[in-house]
Amino acid sequence: MAARAGGAQYGDPVAAGPALLQIVDAEQPPLRVLFGSQPTQLVKHIYAQRLQTWADWEHVSHAAQG
């Protein structure tokens, strides 16, 4: 049931159920989880950019500590 609307790709909602139960039943469930292949691809690039920005400004973070 993968449909495309406005560039978003939607997966099968039935498949999300077992994935959600796996998270709920986990001994140490994650704080955040991405469902689907599209978000997991996008977030890697976004977080790589964030990590680079934080690294570029790390000297300011240290200076702000005093």
Terminal Cα distance for the chain, rounded? 55
1 pLDDT above the threshold of 60: no
- Strand ranges (E), 1-66: 3-5, 8-10
What average pLDDT does the segment 7-26 reach? 87
User: What mean pLDDT is reported for the chain?
Assistant: 88
Alpha carbons within 13 angstroms on the beta-carbon side of residue 55 total: 6
Domain boundaries, the chain: 30-66
Identify the pLDDT of residue 2. 45
